[in-house]
Structure 1
Amino acid sequence: MITANDPFARLPEVASFAVTSTSVADGAAWSPGQLAGKDVSPQLSWSGAPRGTKSYAVTVYDPDAPTGSGFWHWAVSDIPATVTELPEGAGDDGGSGLPEGAFQVPNDARVARFLGAAPPAGHGVHRYYVVVHALDVETLGVPADCTPAFLGFTIAQHVLGRAVLVATAETPGPERIEVSRLIPAPAEAVFAVLSDPKGHVDIDASGMLLDAEGDPVEQAGDRFVVHMDREALGDVPLGKYDVEVVITTLVPDEEIAWTVEGRVRPHARHVYGYRLEPAEGGTLVTSYYDWSEVGAEWRERITFPVVPESALRATLGILERTVRRRAVSPARGQ
């Protein structure tokens, strides 16, 4: 994730207070409703604003947009000090869920409503700063058709405190596939399968993985051996052979990714991975396959992607089944 370009880095420090959302957790990816096309503003609740707060403003800003000035997705002014919550969908065309007196100024698409996230394909993860600003005036006195930047400039002159929640979004590039599935189990149960070498065999939908040897992985750089059967794909006449799986990313209960090193050099360097996010009813699991770093030599030998989107979807279905079975028989696969 991009970590530079903090929108508050050059502003005076102010008090902080709490903001939460049932739509997204701090640091997690937006739900589908908050993406472009759905354009549903997030639910927000806040508490602990500084003494003397007379109104609030709410903004949603993407500092990672490739514009040179970021991108404002939502801006609401003059929320009364007695209000400490906005329902999901409050920022529709008519501001139907906004309290009396509050109003939306046009975002950077020049529409007065919440605009969902839509980062450019392949541009990486974007951050979305969802901010509740506690203000020392009942009204900021800005025109209803002002820009969010002008609203922000005015906010800076009256701000007592900020409550900040950061959501994320990413649009995969043309050399990456992502599919998601809600698995009704806690993240640690899902991660236990994904970090277990034999778990990789259990959930394989391609027919290539015959068996695996090694201890559960604990950090990037860990390795284990997988016995493969390339005949299942029928693309390269390798038959049965062994590869080493090399963990490239490991954040317990949040993300695991790996590449594969075989006997043929140079290694292909395509990456497989899973992201896990808490969600109502279980864990939202995103399976991804990225072949953007594969060199020209391999692109001449093999048609990428090696596995199609349908195989990733099938693997997620098998993953759910495997997690459920291991919950019944914990020793299975260990």
Structure 2
Amino acid sequence: MSANDPLARLPEAASFTVTSTTIAEGAALPLSEGKDVSPQLSWSGAPEGTKSYAVTVYDPDAPTGSGFWHWAVADIPATVTELPENAGDGTGAGLPEGAFTLPNDARVTRYLGAAPPAGHGQHRYFFVVHALDVESLGVPADATPAFLGFTISSHILGRAILTATAETPGDGPERTERIEVSRLIPAPAEAVFAVLTDPKGHVDIDASGMLLDAEGDPVRRAGDRFVVHMDREALGDRPLGKYDVEVVITEFAPGKEIAWTVESATRTPVRHIYGYRLEPADGGTLVTSYYDWSEISPEWKGRLVFPVVPESALKSTLGILERTVRRRAA
């Protein structure tokens, strides 16, 4: 991903606030895969004297030399402070009277979803609401978004910016769909396994801050389940709030390996796998933590950027696991 700031050389303008019920600042966008649905946008705090708005969506990291414009809407009345989800469907039905969509860089008059080239790395998507000092910019309906941006620059009063990301994994041999990290824990395998089979043990070793509590008996076989109370707001990436998930054990070999997936009552299971392998070693137990997303459905591959759990989180959890085993032994 490039470090360039596409707004750095534009005229200075007051800042105001834009939020969304469908995307979050810094979070990953779903890859389009033919589903080009513009997110809901709401804004507030525009400068005094605002007479209209424009909305643009731009990817400065596209390998074109000039970035890529995904959406551009002009002449939104000053009385409007929200666009509903899928307002960029191309029909104009979701836009307020007087507003119109310009052709994007694919020359289609609609919102075009995120679809960075495979293996090109993470791209940024700048969702910008521009507060303007004129009721109409007077740009032609077939103008380019770049021309719209040039016209905006002489009428800008304020900008509200929401930045999201997207990445398409490469298809070559370098692509991986599994992460593994290991740590020697100075304790017998039985003591480590006791933490991993205890529902509250999962809360104790959580490195994300999302796991609030757990309910259920210690697991004893594949197919066992327990409930975990989650708080996604701990990550600040998706406005999901507090909810429950069910942990389903997929592998169970006493003292050797445990793995599970997570299910939610409100959505189709992702079916990614978390697990631990335990091997006797000099000085204790070699514990390998792994995260595998090779078996997830195409639906989820298009909606999330994987891995959703980074390697650093697995390393942190192993450190907390060692500390937890020590405390329980004491």
The residue identity in structure 2 corresponding to 1:26 is E
Partner in structure 1 of residue 12 of structure 2? 13
1:226 aligned residue (259, 277, 286): 286
Q: Separation in 1 of the partners of 2:23 and 2:138? A: 31
The match for 1:218 is: none
Is 1:28 matched with 2:27? yes
Structure 2 match to 1:115 = 112
Residue 203 of structure 1, CA deviation = 3.1
**Which moves more between the two structures, 72-81 or 203-212?**
203-212
- Kindly indicate whether the alpha-carbon contact (under 8 Å) linking 2:257 and 2:275 is maintained by their aligned counterparts in 1: no
TM-score (norm 2): 0.59
**Structure 2: distance between partners of 1:95 and 1:142:** 17
User: Quick one: structure 1 residues 122 and 111, their matched pair in 2 at CA, closer, same or farther if it must change by over 3 Å?
Assistant: same
**In the alignment, residue 58 of structure 2 is paired with which amino acid?**
Y
1:210 corresponds in structure 2 to 278
Which residue of the partner structure matches residue 161 of structure 1? 158
Q: Partner of 1:154: helix, strand, or coil? A: helix
1:186 paired with 2:237, answer no
Q: In the TM superposition, what is the alpha-carbon distance from 1:287 to its structure 2 partner?
A: 3.5
| CA distance in structure 1 between the partners assigned to 2:308 and 2:20 by the alignment | 26
Q: What one-letter code is carried by the residue in structure 2 that aligns with 1:203?
A: A
- Code of the residue aligned with 1:186 in structure 2: it is D
Q: Cα offset for 1:225?
A: 6.5
* Aligned residues of 2:28 and 2:164 also touching (Cα < 8 A): yes
- After superposition, what is the alpha-carbon deviation per residue over 1:90-135, rounded to whole angstroms, capped at 9, x for unaligned? 0112121000000000000001100011000000000000000000
Structure 1 runs of 4+ aligned residues shifted over 4 Å read 187-190, 204-208, 331-334
Residues 28-55 of structure 1 show CA distances to partners (whole Å, capped at 9, x for unaligned) of: 01135xx241000110000000000000
- Native 8 Å contact 1:57 1:77 kept in 2: yes
Q: CA separation of 1:286/1:171 partners in 2, compared to 1, >3 Å: closer, same or farther?
A: closer
SS in 1 for 2:278: strand
Equivalent residue for 2:78, pick from 81, 87, 94:
81
Unpaired runs of at least 5, structure 1:
194-199, 214-223, 229-244, 246-257, 259-270, 274-283, 291-330
75, 87, 92: which one pairs with 1:90? Answer: 87
1:268-325 CA deviation, whole Å, 9 max, x = no partner?
Answer: xxx989xxxxxxxxxx7943799xxxxxxxxxxxxxxxxxxxxxxxxxxxxxxxxxxx
Structure 1 position 227, deviation (Å): 4.5
Q: Conserved in 2, the CA contact under 8 Å of 1:75 and 1:106?
A: yes
User: 2: distance between equivalents of 1:332 and 1:108?
Assistant: 59
- TM-superposed CA distance for 1:176, in Å, is 2.5
CA contact (8 A) 2:40 2:86 kept: yes
Paired positions, count: 220
SS where residue 137 of structure 2 aligns?
Answer: coil
Q: Is the 8 A contact 1:127 1:168 kept in 2?
A: yes
Q: Retained in 2: the 8 A contact 1:178–1:289? A: no
Q: Which has the higher contact order (CA 8 A, sep 6+)?
A: 2
Give the unaligned 5+ runs of structure 2: 179-227, 236-243, 248-255, 261-272, 294-303, 311-326
